[in-house]
Amino acid sequence: MPSQPPEPNAAYFLDLIQKSKRGKFKVYIGMSAGVGKTYRMLQEAHTLLRHGVNVKIGFVETHRRPETHALLEGLPMIPHRTVFYRGKELEEMDVQAILNLHPEVVVVDELAHTNIQGSKNEKRWQDVVDILNAGINVISAVNIQHLESLNEEVFNITGIEVKETVPDSLLQQANEVVNIDLTADELITRLKEGKIYDKSKVETALNHFFQAEKILQLRELALKEVASQVERKVETEVVQKVGLRSERFLACISSNHEIARKILRKTARLASYYQGKWCVLYVQTTKEDADKIGLAAQRHLINNFKLATELGGEVVRIKSNDVVQTIFEMAQKQNSTNICIGKPHEGFWSSITGNSLFHKLLQKVADKDIDLIVIS
Q: Compute the distance between CA of residue 303 and CA of residue 58 in angstroms, rounded to an integer.
A: 32
pLDDT value, residue 350:
47
Confirm if 265 and 311 have CB atoms less than 8 A apart.
yes
pLDDT value, residue 73:
94
Q: CA torsion sign, 192 to 196 to 199 to 204?
A: negative
- Nearest in space to 95 (alpha carbons), one of 138, 46, 130, 50: 130
Contacts of 211 (CB under 8 A, 6+ apart): none
Confirm if 171 and 177 have CB atoms less than 8 A apart.
yes
Contacts of 139 (CB under 8 A, 6+ apart): 26, 27, 28, 41, 44, 45, 105, 106, 107, 108
Strands (DSSP E) contained in 213-344 are 248-253, 277-284, 314-319, 338-342
Angle between helices 212-237 and 257-273 (to 10 degrees): 50
In order along its 376 residues, the chain shows pLDDT tens digits of 444 544 555 666 566 666 668 999 999 999 988 899 999 999 999 999 999 999 999 999 888 888 899 999 999 999 999 888 888 888 899 999 999 999 999 999 999 999 998 899 999 999 999 999 999 999 999 999 999 888 888 889 988 888 899 998 898 889 899 999 888 899 999 888 888 888 788 888 888 888 889 999 999 999 888 888 777 776 666 544 444 567 899 999 988 888 899 999 999 988 887 878 899 999 988 888 777 778 888 888 889 998 888 888 889 999 988 988 999 889 888 888 899 998 766 554 444 444 567 778 888 777 778 888 888 7
pLDDT value, residue 234:
66
Length of the chain as a residue count: 376
pLDDT value, residue 47:
93
pLDDT value, residue 236:
62
